[in-house]
Every structure is written in structure tokens, then in C-alpha cells.
Structure 1
Amino acid sequence: MSDGKIVDMNELKNKNIEWKKFTRLGISIIILLIILGIIFSNLFIVKEGEYKVIRQFGEVVKIIDKPGLNFKIPFIQTAQTLPKYQMVFDVEKAEINTKDKKRVIIDNYAVWKIADPKLMISNLRSVENAEAKMGEFIFSTVRTELGQLNYDEIIDEENSSRGNLNVTITDQVNDLMKRDNYGIVVIDVRIKKTDLPPENEESVYKRMISERESTAQEYLSMGDAEKNRIIANTDREVKELLAKAQADAEKIRAEGEQEAAKIYNESFSQDPEFYNLFRTLESYKKTINGETVIILPADSPYARLLMGYVE
């Protein structure tokens, strides 16, 4: 046929062979990528401060706690991360009744960690479930312990028993956790805050204010009594000091007058006439002034001295 086309069967055969080669190469690359994807998706890194729990068909088969690169079996095993460090769990607030029938709202927190990841995963499954179970135990223990105390014993800062109470609660919660094989350890349980229900706050505050005012008045009375005692002791000591000082002054004055009299006697004994004259003149100072009228016998010592007769 003039318009017919001649097909080279050898060339067509070669093209089919090349196409099959490219197809096989593509499939091989895809398979390789899938294998590499599976390998890389099942590689995992264990970081510092965490556990990796390897589970196979729901059962825990391995716990990895050392940092590094690890591999799990594809499609069969799963890896779950658990914290290795200490955690803080803020326990939900709860209302309890004290021994004296008062209602209080307790706010707690707990510090805890996973001690046995296998037990924890087997019995609790997750961190959230572990905290929920721990919260139940803490509430039960706190309610029991605080139910044996009066309200004042709980809130009194000076005579508070919270220190021993925190230790007791921590120990009891740990005993419950250990009993049920939960694989976690509670390091510390603390009462963060105690509040009153709103309807009880006003009456308690008034009673507390009254008690504080009574205590303040007692301190004031004790202070006044101490002040009066100090004042009385001081007044007594002042009187004793003044009496002693006055007695010492009288003694010194008497000794001085005695010494002066001795000196006078020694001085005047050396000239008796001068002494008589001096005594007479001294008496004039006391008895004679500008308006004095004296009537004396002519032979009296005063008259003889005034008239100039001196023996």
C-alpha cells in the first residue's frame, strides 16, 4: 500500500524493554523509600529525664531509661514517653468537716515521681490517671486526718500541727500507692491553704478579732503592772539614795563643824583677850543697828568698851 507505514519490530521491542527497566527502577525506589520511611519512623531518641516504655500488643516488654538512639519493631511495638523527674500535682480543692463540726476548704499540692514505669503503665496507663488516683488518696487521707482536729488546731500558726500532719499524710498516701502496686512515690504532700466557706467566714473572723483583742488587753494589763512595779522600785531606790546622801552630808557637816571648832579653840587659846574682843564685836553685829537703844550699867563690858576703858 502506497500510504502504509512500516513498523520496525526490533525497535518496538527495545522500547518495551527500556520502559520495563524504568518501571522496575521506579518501583524499587518507591519500595526503598517506603522501607527507609518505616525505619526512620521507628527510630526514637530517649532524652535525659525521661523513660521510654516499649509496648507490644498492649504488654510492656521493655523500659529504656538511658539517653540515646533506639529502634522499635514496626507495626508491632509502640513507644510511650514518661517523665523521670519530679512533678508537682496541684490537688483539686475539697471541702471537709473538722472535729468541731466546722467546714473548711483545703487546697493541697503533692510532689511525686514515677519509681517503676512498668507498674505505673500496667496499672494506671497514663500520668493523668496516676494523678487522678493520687488525688483520691490524698483527699481521703486529708479528710480523715483533719477530721480528728479542731478548726483552731489547723489554722493556728503558733501552735500548728501541720508539720507532723504533712508527714503523716505523705506516709499514708505512699502506703496506699505501694499496696496497689502503682509504681509511683509521693515525696511530699503539703497543705497550701485553708479557707472557710463564704457563709462561715464572717462569724469566724469576728471571733478571731475578739480573741486577739482579749489577748492584746491581757498584754496591756501585764505591761501596766510591770510599769507600776518598775516605778515603785525606782521611787524606793531614789528615797534610799537620798536618805543615804543626807546622812552622809550630815556626817560630813558635823565633822567639819567639829574640825572648825577645834581650829577656833586652838587659835583663840593663843590670845584670850583678842578672843573676848572678837566675840564682843561679833555680838554687836547681831544686837546693834541704826535704831537700837541700849541702856547699860556704867561698869558693864559694853559700856567700858564704848567709853574707851580697855583693861
Structure 2
Amino acid sequence: MSDQNVINMNERQRTGFEWRKYSRFGIFLLVLLALFLLVISNVFIVKEGEYKVVRQFGEVVRIVKEPGLNYKIPFIQSVSTLPKYQLMYDVSEAEINTKDKKRMLVDNYAVWKIIDPKKMITNARTLTNAESRMEEFIYSVVRAELGQLNYDEIINDEKSSRGSLNDRVTAKVNELLAKDEYGIVVVDVRMKRTDLPEENENSVYTRMISERESKAQEYLSKGDAEKNRITAQTDREVKEIISKAEADAEVIRAEGEAQAAKIYNESFSKDPEFYSLYRTLQTYKRTINEDTVIIIPSDSPYAKILSGYFE
């Protein structure tokens, strides 16, 4: 074998060795990258306000509640998320019958949350199914509660005996949910509005108007009665005041007249002639006016006084 052939053979051997070395290194890098991606793809993060449900072949094997990093077994385990925070559900509008056999439409909403994800998944399977069961219980309890009240008690706040209806409904719905172990709890149930079937609206409006008019008439009657009472009391007090004033005036007048008579007597007794003149002039004042014609004897006291003659 020539020297050139030997050199070529050695070259090919060296090249094959280097290729095999690089191939093994590339395969090692690929395996390492695959393992890294496998680990990364099976790490999951639990956030605040959520549950992570780990399933193995469809069965729940673990519920992760605390925030942080967690790991699942590749290929055989899967992870789903459920909310931990409160949820609001708008209950479908429903028609109920009152105690006095009248119909009305009720619209509610509920605030609820998951407290046991495993029970919820086991018995309700999904959030939609859990909400459906909750809605059925709410409708059943609301219908039973309002069915114990008359129509007027529900629509008329002044006569309402509903009391803490929302609290009672919430408590009874939670009892039913706990009994069937759905793993959820209702925080609050609220009645958004109560409407009437269209055919009942006119009759109810007419009744409400009639009740308001009756109430207004009752207020007017009470006002008139109070006015008459106050007027009568005032008139009575005025009469009493006037009677007392008149009595006091009579006493004062009598005392004044007595005092005046005493003064007259004392004054006139000091000069009888002046008293006679004064009484005569008083008589003139009462009997003589511009149309009076007087015929008197010349020797009468009047003639003497008018003529200016005094004895």
C-alpha cells in the first residue's frame, strides 16, 4: 500500500471520529433541552384568588390553595383553575304565586364563592352546573317565602311583613347546598325588583291610587278634626277671658261711680246754689236743641237765667 493511501485512510478515520464526537455532544444538548422544556411545561403558578386543581387520569388528586410554584407529573397529570374570590350570579326572572293566589315576577341576584373545590367538582362537575343548582334552590326558597305573604304585603312597604327576607333566603339556600355537598356557599341573595304580570298592572295601579286617596282623605279628616278642636278650645278661652274682663270692668265701674258720687256729694254740699245752677244747665243740655221751642213763664228759673236775672 502506497504512502498516499495510508495518509488518506488516516484522514478519513480522524474525520469520522470528530463527527461522532460532535454528534454525541449535539444529542446530549438536545436531550438536555428536552428535559428542560419538559420540566418547565409541568411547572404551574398558583395566584392569589384562585385554586389549582390537579387531575390524574381525570380524577382529582390534589387541590393547591396557597400561592406559589408547583409541579405536576408530566403526561399523566393536568391542571385546571377555579376562582377563589366571590362571584355574582344573576338569577333568572321567575313568576311566583302569593298567599292570596296572585302572580308576580321576581328578579334576584346572588353573591357566592367556592369553599371546597373537590366537593364542587365531585358533585357539580363545573361552575355552570353549580350555578344552575344554586339558582334552583334560590327560586324554590324565594317561592316558598313569598308564598307565605299576601300580594299587598309584598308591594306595599307600609304594610310589608317581609322583614329580613334576604337573610332567610340566604340561610335556607346554604342549608340545601351544604346538604348536597356542592362545596359552594351563598354570601348574599338580594331581590333586585318585583314586577307584575302585564295583565295585573292596571288593577294594581288602580288599587294603589285608591289606597293613596284613602290615606290622603284620612289625613284631611284628622286635620279637620284637629282644627275644629283647636278652634273650639280657642273660642272657649276667648269667652272666658271676655267674661272675666267684663266682670272686672263692672266692679271697677261700680267702684268708680261710687267714688264719683261721693266726690259730687262732697263738692255740691259746699255750694248748694252752684249745684242748683249745674243741675239746671245739665237739664238744658238734655232738652234743648236747635229745633226746640220753649214757652216759659217770665218768673220761672229758666227765664231768669236766660235773661241774666238772679235774685
Q: TM-score, normalised by structure 1?
A: 0.84
Corresponding residue of 1:50: 50
Deviation at 1:36, TM superposition (A): 2.2
Corresponding residue of 1:192: 192
Distance 1:165 1:255 in 2: 80
Point out the more displaced range, 89-98 or 207-216. 207-216
Deviation at 1:299, TM superposition (A): 4.5
Point out the more displaced range, 98-107 or 59-68. 59-68
Distance 1:63 1:117 in 2: 7
1:284 aligns with 2:278: no
Corresponding residue of 2:230: 230
- The one-letter amino acid paired with 2:169 is I
Deviation at 1:131, TM superposition (A): 1.0
- The one-letter amino acid paired with 2:286 is K
Q: Within 5 Å, which residues of 2 pair with 1:1-311?
A: 8-290=8-290, 292-310=292-310
**Cα distance, 1:252–1:124 mapped onto 2, change above 3 Å:** same
Deviation at 1:192, TM superposition (A): 1.9
| Residue deviations 1:48-97 (CA, integer Å, cap 9, x gap) | 22222333333333333222222222223333322222222211111222
Distance 1:254 1:22 in 2: 149
Point out the more displaced range, 16-25 or 111-120. 16-25
Q: TM-score, normalised by structure 2?
A: 0.84
Distance 2:10 2:253 in 1: 160
- The one-letter amino acid paired with 2:123 is N
Distance 2:60 2:44 in 1: 17
RMSD of the TM alignment (CA)?
A: 2.9
Deviation at 1:298, TM superposition (A): 4.7
Distance 1:137 1:303 in 2: 125
- The one-letter amino acid paired with 1:28 is F
| Residue deviations 1:120-174 (CA, integer Å, cap 9, x gap) | 2222223222111111111122222323332222222122233333233222211
| Residue deviations 1:264-293 (CA, integer Å, cap 9, x gap) | 333333433333333333333333445544
Secondary structure at 2:157 match in 1: coil
Asked whether the equivalents of residues 83 and 114 of structure 2 are also in contact (C-alpha less than 8 Å), the reply is yes
Distance 1:266 1:61 in 2: 133
Distance 1:10 1:162 in 2: 102
Distance 1:168 1:225 in 2: 44
Secondary structure at 2:305 match in 1: helix
Asked whether the equivalents of residues 152 and 159 of structure 2 are also in contact (C-alpha less than 8 Å), the reply is no
5+ residue gaps, structure 2, are none
Distance 2:141 2:23 in 1: 71
- The one-letter amino acid paired with 1:209 is I
**Cα distance, 1:281–1:72 mapped onto 2, change above 3 Å:** same
5+ residue gaps, structure 1, are none
Percent of aligned positions that are identical: 67
Distance 1:174 1:38 in 2: 44
Secondary structure at 1:178 match in 2: helix
Point out the more displaced range, 112-121 or 226-235. 226-235
Secondary structure at 1:82 match in 2: strand
**Cα distance, 1:113–1:305 mapped onto 2, change above 3 Å:** same
Distance 2:304 2:257 in 1: 33
**Cα distance, 1:292–1:208 mapped onto 2, change above 3 Å:** closer
- The one-letter amino acid paired with 1:243 is S
**Cα distance, 1:272–1:103 mapped onto 2, change above 3 Å:** same
- Tell me how many residue pairs correspond in the alignment: 308
